[in-house]
Amino acid sequence: MKTQLSGMYAALITAMNDDQAYCAERQKSVTKAVLNQGLDGLYVGGSSGESGLLNVDELLDQQQIVAETAQNQKQKLIAHVGAPNLRDSIALAKNAARLGFDGLSALPPHAYPFTDGEIIAYYRDLAAATDLPMIVYEVPVRTNRPLPLPVLSEILTLPNVAGMKFTSNDLFKFSQLKAAHPDKIVYFGFDEIYLSAGALGADGGIGSTYNVMGKLYAALNDAIKASDLAKAQELQSISQQFVTDLLEIGVLPGIKAIMHARGIAAGPTRAPLQPLSPQIDQIANRMATDPRYTPWLISA
């Protein structure tokens, strides 16, 4: 399982029409372009895909479109199915299993101050809903609550739980989890410091900027595997420069604007996320033609 699901995954964005309605046709084009960057797979329906702003029907349709588009590709598909309630999460999980996804993932429930026991029960029930391997998710920046190490360890021992997406700066906790659960796959979720976790044995990464810089992150992971520290540092530095520029206009609006500048219609983000604007387009166009980035950027 670890070998099958390890690697670098783009946290796929969701394509919209100009009026912010979900757009299946644009989703096909976006999915094809992201897949063509040499990554190991796609992480579908997560925060980078604006899942918190989509309804369940839109997420189900997105799973269908991505599965059909990737049907003849070798890349793996992981469906993020973490919804505000368990019933919707299970519906998304079962649909992904029916469509042939390779794995599932889910944010811990965070709409209320759930107890540790409730979070563990959520993952137990969701992991049992299908036969697909479950990737749990530690992301304090989204949940406003780091889960304690004993809770994460207990979740990792649940049946069908294959690993974790770890999006936290607590690299000591990351290392502790790796040491305690060597049979589990652990992805790292902060693009701009992937090298740090890669050096500590990350089994792969899942990131937003992989949507448009996937070639760079695939090369970064290869450099880490080859113990080529100088190359890995060079590539991580480019990633950090790119993220620094991207933060000026917002990560998700910026990614979509850069896609547009590269000939890929992804549409705007959905309100209340920042809408696209002439200022965003101007900076995105500059980034899309910056010689530091152009060797690594997505193509239509």
Whether pLDDT at 36 is above 60: yes
- Return the closest-CA partner of residue 36 out of 2, 70, 1, 71: 70
| 3 pLDDT above the threshold of 90 | no
Residue 1 has pLDDT above 80, yes or no: no
Q: Which of 76, 123, 165, 184 is catalytic?
A: 165
Question: Is 165 an annotated catalytic residue?
Answer: yes
* Distance in angstroms (rounded) separating the CA atoms of residues 296 and 84: 36
Q: What are phi and psi of 244, to 5 degrees?
A: -60, -45
pLDDT in tens, 199-251: 999 999 999 999 999 999 999 999 999 999 999 999 999 999 999 999 999 99
pLDDT tens-place string over residues 38-91 = 999 999 999 999 999 999 999 999 999 999 999 988 999 999 999 999 999 999
pLDDT at 255 over 70: yes
Both structure tokens of 68: 């059909």
In whole angstroms, how far apart are CA 273 and each of 188, 240, 243, 255? 25, 23, 18, 13
Handedness of CA 118, 119, 120, 122 (dihedral sign): positive
Which of the four pLDDT bands, split at 50, 70 and 90, describes residue 2?
A: low
CA dist 245 and 164 (Å) reads 29
Residue 46: is it exposed, middle or buried by C-beta count within 10 angstroms (0-12/13-18/19+)?
buried
The per-residue pLDDT for 168 is: 97
Residue 112: what residue type?
Answer: Y
Catalytic residue among 22, 122, 123, 137: 137
Looking at per-residue confidence, does 31 or 111 come out higher?
31
CA distance 41 to 259: 19
Q: What is the pLDDT of residues 131-186, one digit of tens each?
A: 999 999 999 998 999 999 999 999 999 999 999 999 999 999 999 999 999 999 99
Q: In the numeric block, which tokens belong to residue 138?
A: 């530690």
* Predicted local distance difference test score (pLDDT) of residue 129: 98
The predicted structure's pLDDT at residue 72: 87
Q: First and final CA of the chain: distance in angstroms?
A: 33
> Which residues have a Cβ under 8 Å from the Cβ of 142 and sit 6 or more positions away?
47, 107, 110, 167
Q: Output the CA–CA distances (angstroms, integers) from residue 181 to 35, 167, 235, in the order listed.
A: 30, 17, 29
Using CA atoms, how far residue 49 sits from 158, 253, 256, in Å, is 27, 11, 11
Domains of the chain: 2-227 (3.20.20.70)
Length of the chain in terms of residues written: 300
